[in-house]
């Protein structure tokens, strides 16, 4: 896991405006999970995230492993993570132990999912990823979702 000094990113959720079959993955039997396809654009480049949201059901390690393998077949470069708990202003996410990712960028993706798809109005949004917790201030500037690591930061570009 790599961390960086970047504190501002643009987050884009790439799912269709109406959920389609490709936005869901079968967990077991008749249980399915929603997959958010998210791009995070930072000053250092763009990263693809796949965020699996099995809630309100729980999902076991074996199921996560099977989903991870299936998604990896068609999304080799994406970071895959799972939302395992969610409440107003807070979410808990896990990733595979060998997954390399930028902590802030993943937290930014989760915070924008909560704000734009979950109608969570809390600021900041706290995101616990594995054993680390990150606070993110996401906002929509009329054109893009911008996520920052502090309140009231200047949002002119990604410097």
Residue 150 DSSP one-character state: S
User: Which regions of the chain are under pLDDT 50?
Assistant: 3-4, 154-159
CA atoms within 13 A on the CB side of 94: 12
Please check whether residue 9 is in contact with residue 147, taking contact to mean a CB–CB distance below 8 angstroms: yes
CA atoms within 13 A on the CB side of 32: 11
pLDDT at 88: 93
Beta-strand pair 125-129/90-95: parallel
Q: Phi and psi at residue 20, in whole multiples of 5°?
A: -115, 175
pLDDT at 106: 94
pLDDT at 93: 95
Residue 84 DSSP one-character state: E
What domains can you pick out in the chain, each with its CATH number? 8-148 (3.10.310.10)
The two three-digit tokens of residue 113, written as one number: 């999912």
Three-state secondary structure call for residue 158: coil
First to last CA, the chain: 23
pLDDT at 152: 54
């Amino acid at each position: 896991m790599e961390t960086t000094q970047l504190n501002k990113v643009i987050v884009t959720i790439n799912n269709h405006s109406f959920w389609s079959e490709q936005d869901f993955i079968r967990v077991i039997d008749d249980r399915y999970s929603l997959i958010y396809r998210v791009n995070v654009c930072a000053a250092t480049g763009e990263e693809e995230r796949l965020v699996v949201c099995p809630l309100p059901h729980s999902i076991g390690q074996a199921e996560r492993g099977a989903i991870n393998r299936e998604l990896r077949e068609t999304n080799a470069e994406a970071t895959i993570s799972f939302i395992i708990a969610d409440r107003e202003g807070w979410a808990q996410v896990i990733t595979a132990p060998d997954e390399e990712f930028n902590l802030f960028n993943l937290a930014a993706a989760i915070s924008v999912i909560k704000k734009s798809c979950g109608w969570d109005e809390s600021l900041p949004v706290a995101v616990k990823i594995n054993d680390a917790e990150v606070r993110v201030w996401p906002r929509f500037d009329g054109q893009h979702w911008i996520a920052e690591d502090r309140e009231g930061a200047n949002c002119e570009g990604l410097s």
